[in-house]
Structure 1
Amino acid sequence: MKKNMIKRGILIGTLVFMMVMAGCSGSSDNNGGNDGENGSEELTAFPMTVTDTAGNEITIEAMPEKIISVSPTLTETLFAIGAGDRVVGRTEYCNYPEEVANIQVIGTFTNPNTELILDLEPDLVFSSGGVPEEAQALFDASGIKVIVLADSQTVDQIEENILLMGKVLDLNEEAAAVNEEIEAERTAVKAALGDVEPKRVFVDLGYYYSAGAGSFIDSIIVEELGAINIAADGEGEWPQISEEVIVEKDPEVYIRNVTMGGGEAEPMADSLQGITAVVENQVVNVETGSPDNDIMTRAGARVGQTIRFYAEAIYPEKFN
């Protein structure tokens, strides 16, 4: 039991840290260097200069053939747009799609192995966070370009990131097709919901860390689904909310990332037994490290599934 709790703490701590770091490294404008152009109609020509979400201008001299991804979200997106065969390195947290298991691990999001990355001789590194100054100097000296694409704050910004990746890799049509799938799911969910009475929702990513205003999860809950995120007024994008505040806000739906022991979710705290979500059996348990856990927390090419996940969790009566 103690071992499981420690493991869960490591997983959740890593998850929250990755989300915080990814969010802090980008700009909310997130224009991705597309300058209003339609990604599906562009003809890619090299060299090209793009602006990443950190505000860096990067000139790509030729078609990138060998790519390192330092983000599970970006790895998923690379495969979704058809660039999976160019990925030569990924973090140990990159687990989707299955093919990533055959790709060289280059460390973690927080501690990538710079020497190993240099040995792989990539043309391009995609990261969702800033690169340490020393590592950046080594990459510059080796001619390795780095593009920072921080986790987006809205679905529209996610689509902009996808188009930018398609542009840089000369996969404009493929990127546009991914966005079309996202839009189709987005439209279908809104049609299924119709006019709904807003429900109060709390998303517990672990140890009461949640999705605050400015996070893509908040955007989905509020803007896409019309629900009320009780953590929206917390401090920062990923605030930790006290049990007292949760009781006061009284969520009608409680979505939580939990460890499942023997198929059973760990019990809710005694202090939360009286909230509406518990009383009315509207607690949605998502196992730490499960496919649903990835879908609910990654702002990438599967965001259409993310929208549907939250819609079905919050308004199950609309999908039965």
Structure 2
Amino acid sequence: MTMRSILVAFIAMLIATHAHAALTVTDDTGAQVTLPGPARRVVSLAPHVTELLFAAGGGARIVGTVSYSDYPKAAQSIPRVGDNKALDLERIVALHPDLIVVWRHGNAARQMDRLAALGIPLYYSEPTHLDDIAASIDKLGVLLGTEDTARAASTAFTRDIAQLRAKYARLAPVRVFYQVWDDPLMTLNRDNVFSEVIGVCGGVNVFAAQTPRVPTISTEAVLAANPEAIVTATPGATKPDRALPALDRWKQWTSITAVARGNLFGIDGDVINRPTPRIAIGAAELCRDLDIARGRR
């Protein structure tokens, strides 16, 4: 055998070894997830997971997902295997997935235990910071073997957030109350992606120190906090003539600065409630709204 043929055989061996090398990442619980090769059949068990998989370049490999996985448009045609309350475990198994991406706080723990017992690799997704979104895309890209696509998406997202932070974060702070739900009255503490978005825009989450992550609060607590802006999720962005029924309760409390100055804002829930690259769109909307609040001083 000539030196050239030996070199060719060695290179071929390296390529073959690389092609079959195990892929390992750490999920959002700190557990290692290892696959023998790129995932080809993926089940997504949360709407935000579906978006992350598409961003990472793996949309065409999703063989099953859950209700409300509606973005991008191609996700709407993926077979459903349940919702945030219950999963069809038999159907999931019948899809023969080589990776299941689950939502740690959104999927029933008992059903997750049953899935884990089947030996199918599980990746738990629970981004709690903006950097986690970019990291999640990159990690899913590793498991899918689509690192270049994933890195392009994560880099673009990181750039968009950095530009907003540079433009708004050092402006005069605006005290913000984010209303998750109106009955019972609920908000977010600091351990949430959207709370960090408030900071990106130069805002201050008035209930950042509360517990748990989605605390129930009282009307009196909001009155005492006296936010300069009140924000909630809506089916669409705030328009000058758009009514915000979820915030109507506050109009009687004219002593609240946000009410007195008309700083009641609604932002499309899909772009602020899901920890995906689209939260950069929601962040841009919030930043504009808080700048309006500054202009009303």
Q: Please say whether Structure 1 and Structure 2 have the same fold, judged by a TM-score greater than 0.5.
A: yes
Judging changes above 3 Å, is the alpha-carbon distance between structure 1 residues 187 and 50 closer, same or farther for their aligned structure 2 residues?
A: closer
> Mapping of 1:6-21 within 5 angstroms?
none
Query: Paired residue for 1:127, among 102, 117, 121?
Result: 102
For 1:284, the aligned partner's letter is: F
Alignment pair present for 1:278 and 2:259: yes
The whole-number CA distance in structure 2 between the counterparts of 1:114 and 1:92 is 15
The whole-number CA distance in structure 1 between the counterparts of 2:86 and 2:209 is 32
Alignment pair present for 1:264 and 2:240: no
- Find the counterpart in structure 1 of residue 56 from structure 2: 81
Instruction: Say if 2:85 and 2:108, in contact at 8 Å, map to a contact too.
Output: no
Q: Per-residue displacement from partner, 1:7-28 (whole Å, max 9, x unpaired)?
A: xxxxxxxxxxxxxxxxxxxxxx
The whole-number CA distance in structure 2 between the counterparts of 1:91 and 1:212 is 27
Instruction: Say if 1:230 and 1:249, in contact at 8 Å, map to a contact too.
Output: yes
- Find the counterpart in structure 2 of residue 4 from structure 1: none
Judging changes above 3 Å, is the alpha-carbon distance between structure 1 residues 109 and 46 closer, same or farther for their aligned structure 2 residues?
A: farther
Structure exhibiting the larger radius of gyration computed from Cα positions: 2
**Identity %, equivalent residues:** 23
- Find the counterpart in structure 1 of residue 13 from structure 2: none
The whole-number CA distance in structure 1 between the counterparts of 2:19 and 2:244 is 50
For 1:221, the aligned partner's letter is: I
Query: How far off its partner does 1:274 sit?
Result: 2.6
- Find the counterpart in structure 1 of residue 198 from structure 2: 221
The whole-number CA distance in structure 1 between the counterparts of 2:293 and 2:112 is 51
SS in 2 for 1:190: helix
- Find the counterpart in structure 2 of residue 61 from structure 1: 36
- Find the counterpart in structure 2 of residue 246 from structure 1: 222
Q: Per-residue displacement from partner, 1:200-226 (whole Å, max 9, x unpaired)?
A: 00111112311102111112212x233
The whole-number CA distance in structure 1 between the counterparts of 2:224 and 2:111 is 47
SS in 2 for 1:274: coil
For 2:34, the aligned partner's letter is: T
Query: How far off its partner does 1:64 sit?
Result: 1.0
- What's the TM-score once normalised by structure 1's chain length? 0.76
Judging changes above 3 Å, is the alpha-carbon distance between structure 1 residues 45 and 178 closer, same or farther for their aligned structure 2 residues?
A: farther
Query: How far off its partner does 1:183 sit?
Result: 2.2
SS in 1 for 2:232: strand
Q: Which moved more, 1:186-195 or 1:175-184?
A: 186-195
* Structure with higher RCO (Cα < 8 A, 6+ apart): 1
The whole-number CA distance in structure 2 between the counterparts of 1:213 and 1:45 is 42
SS in 2 for 1:153: coil
Q: Which runs of 5+ in 1 are unaligned?
A: 1-42, 287-291
Judging changes above 3 Å, is the alpha-carbon distance between structure 1 residues 269 and 227 closer, same or farther for their aligned structure 2 residues?
A: closer
Q: Which runs of 5+ in 2 are unaligned?
A: 1-17
- What's the TM-score once normalised by structure 2's chain length? 0.81
For 1:242, the aligned partner's letter is: S
SS in 1 for 2:272: helix
The whole-number CA distance in structure 2 between the counterparts of 1:144 and 1:134 is 13
SS in 2 for 1:308: helix
The whole-number CA distance in structure 1 between the counterparts of 2:86 and 2:56 is 27
Query: Paired residue for 1:205, among 174, 180, 199?
Result: 180
The whole-number CA distance in structure 2 between the counterparts of 1:124 and 1:233 is 37
Q: Per-residue displacement from partner, 1:83-103 (whole Å, max 9, x unpaired)?
A: 111011111121111111111
Query: How far off its partner does 1:199 sit?
Result: 0.6
The whole-number CA distance in structure 1 between the counterparts of 2:20 and 2:193 is 32
- Find the counterpart in structure 1 of residue 128 from structure 2: 153
Query: How far off its partner does 1:268 sit?
Result: 2.5
The whole-number CA distance in structure 2 between the counterparts of 1:193 and 1:54 is 32
Q: Which moved more, 1:48-57 or 1:112-121?
A: 48-57
Query: Paired residue for 1:188, among 159, 163, 180?
Result: 163
- Find the counterpart in structure 2 of residue 293 from structure 1: 269
Judging changes above 3 Å, is the alpha-carbon distance between structure 1 residues 278 and 269 closer, same or farther for their aligned structure 2 residues?
A: closer
Instruction: Say if 1:243 and 1:272, in contact at 8 Å, map to a contact too.
Output: no
Alignment pair present for 1:231 and 2:207: yes
Judging changes above 3 Å, is the alpha-carbon distance between structure 1 residues 109 and 159 closer, same or farther for their aligned structure 2 residues?
A: same
Query: How far off its partner does 1:318 sit?
Result: 8.6
Query: How far off its partner does 1:138 sit?
Result: 4.9
The whole-number CA distance in structure 2 between the counterparts of 1:264 and 1:64 is 46
The whole-number CA distance in structure 1 between the counterparts of 2:129 and 2:22 is 30
- Find the counterpart in structure 1 of residue 289 from structure 2: 313
Q: Per-residue displacement from partner, 1:140-165 (whole Å, max 9, x unpaired)?
A: 43x52111111x22211221111111
The whole-number CA distance in structure 2 between the counterparts of 1:138 and 1:285 is 38
